[in-house]
Chain A
Amino acid sequence: MASSSSITQEQVELVVRTMAETAIKNEAYFSELDAVMGDADFGVSLAGGFKAVLNGWDNFDKSSIGSFLLSVAKEITSNTGGCSGPVWGTLFMRCGMAFRGKTDINIEEIIAAFKSAIEGIMKRGGASLGDKTLVDALDAMVRSYERSNADGEPILTAFKKASDAAVETRETTKDWVAKRGRQSFTGDRSIGTYDPGIVAVGDMTKAIVEALGC
């Protein structure tokens, strides 16, 4: 049941499909961003993983949000090149484990899942907050969810605000030094460039907000 305080499995599936479509549509753009400082494979890697998700979609275990997201995690991890596979795979895996057996989820459950995902990604890739990675965008989203939760806002409003927070991160982190991944090999030269992972999170959440009609 859709309500103002939770989202349904159907909506979660729409979120993932929208993420996939965004990754595939922006394949070239994300790679161009990566070419500035990295090895120009980010867009191709990410699109490859999400194409596999769409291909495998009909065979996913959709008995709950958790099982669905774990199926997504397996496809992403196994089909995304470079370090993006384990990083994005961990995002879906930790959320999948947090939503085991659930067919709808509320904002508090989403906050807990995001925190677990951020912790997992940091552990997996060795990134810290402030290293100019997608962790910074996800962290901004969590803090926005927490404010919305404290204010008792409807869940779709919380999504809209969290998306704004994620999009904002791309500008606030622009002048930081990249400390993880291939971007970090360039040291200070990464100042003034956008992090492709952070941009991808922002673009995806923007598309999600539109798709869900937040």
Chain B
Amino acid sequence: MKKFVNDPANFVKEMFEGIYLANKDKLKWVPEYNILCRADLPKDRVVVMQGSGSGHEPAHSMIVGPGMLDACCPGNIFAAPPMDYVYECTKLIANDHGVLHLINNYQGDRMAWDMAREMAEADGIKVGVVIIDDDVSVTNSLYTVGRRGVAGNFFVIKAVGAAAANGATLEELVELGKRVNSQVRSMGVALSSCTPPAKGAPIFEIGDDEIEVGIGIHGEPGRRRDKIRPAKEIIEEVFTAVHDDLPFEKGDRVALMINGMGGTPVSELYLLYGLAAKKAEEKGLRIAKNYVGNYCTSLEMEGFSLTMLKLDYTLETLLNEPAEIPIRVF
């Protein structure tokens, strides 16, 4: 294994330090609990937070900023945050309007966030909960009860982040988050495995000519192992699985995302987007927004996921609201 790393046990901490040093004026960092939050935490509206595991960057630690998350408290690589991270983060950012918890549907996350919510509520903090489970690949997985939460997270965060900034109440945000989750679907394919620094070895084995169809973002098995095929055949399968699950219907306005898993070049992602956009057109969908790049990764895994969100006027407006996060090109 070759990685840019010092002591692998400090990998997450040192990544957080880097994010903080690049955004010192905008972020506050609490190393004991892996908390990154806005330096100018809003006091006059609901605040929104998320955790889950590290290793999916830019989710979640690099998307704290105006119009997105107000705070995050991820656990170690691919590990749910311990309960006290969530509890301390909730207490740190809480105000009278309440705190919204956005939780990925994995057993460890569910239990830690559930406990932290109970403790925060016992302290008199108002907490709302939205659970994200957009992956259509499998109905159950290694670490889940039910479907997994993957790149669809981005749309839940973007929509509730914008609505929170506009002053929506906690109840309205819970309602909105659930609605986005109910209208978004995803599925991924991996070409390669990935190596968590502290583990030092790939999390699963895959042959040079093999792909994992329906891969999870922690390397969990998907629908099946297959031989590599032309990209258009892979898109055909993934697009159809996502499309038919909701199902999307002719005339729907949609947001279409091709998300990179971390190790796939942007050139391949755009190649995949082109194929997916043509499929969408064939089905009579209207792509109102598109997203191509690394949104929810698995370290250096080669692979992609396709996410599609059914839009309505409110959602489209919220997706178009301004937002600012630490990862930026300009």
Contacts and interface: CB of A to CB of B under 8 A. Distances in A.
A77 B115 contact: yes
Interface string A157-176: 00000000000000000000
A25 interface: no
A185 to B, nearest CB: 13
Nearest to A120: B118
B87 interface: yes
The 4 closest A-B pairs by CB, nearest first: A86-B111, A78-B82, A77-B83, A74-B84
Interface residues of A, number: 18
B329 interface: no
B319 interface: no
5 contacts: A74-B87, A78-B84, A89-B83, A123-B114, A124-B111
A97 B112 CA distance: 17
A93 interface: yes
B28 to A, nearest CB: 22
A192 interface: no
A93 B145 contact: no
Interface string B82-123: 111101000000000000000000010001101100110010
A93 B119 contact: yes
A165 to B, nearest CB: 27
Interface string A89-101: 1100100010010
Contacts of A123: 114
A86 B145 contact: no
A137 interface: no
Contacts of B85: 78
Given A89-B83, A93-B118, A77 B145 contact: no
Residue from A73, A74, A126 whose CB has the most chain B CB atoms within 10 Å: A74
Interface in A91-147: 93, 97, 100, 120, 123-126
Interface string B46-87: 000000000000000000000000000000000000111101
Given A77-B115, A85-B82, 19 more contacts: A74-B83, A74-B84, A77-B83, A77-B84, A78-B82, A78-B85, A85-B83, A85-B111, A86-B83, A86-B111, A86-B112, A89-B115, A90-B115, A93-B118, A97-B118, A97-B119, A100-B122, A120-B118, A123-B114
A78 B83 contact: yes
Contacts, number: 41
B119 A70 contact: yes
Contacts of B114: 86, 123-124
Contacts of A97: 118-119, 122
Nearest to B87: A74
Contacts of B83: 74, 77-78, 85-86, 89
A59 B87 CA distance: 18
A93 B115 contact: yes
Contacts of B115: 77, 86, 89-90, 93, 124
A58 to B, nearest CB: 18
A77 B82 CA distance: 7
A100 B122 CA distance: 10
A97 B87 CA distance: 15
A126 B122 CA distance: 22
Nearest to B122: A97
A36 interface: no
A83 interface: yes
Interface string A57-99: 0000000000000100110011000010110011001000100
Nearest to B112: A86
Contact of A126 (B82, B84, B87, B145): B145
Contacts of B119: 70, 73, 93, 97
A107 to B, nearest CB: 23
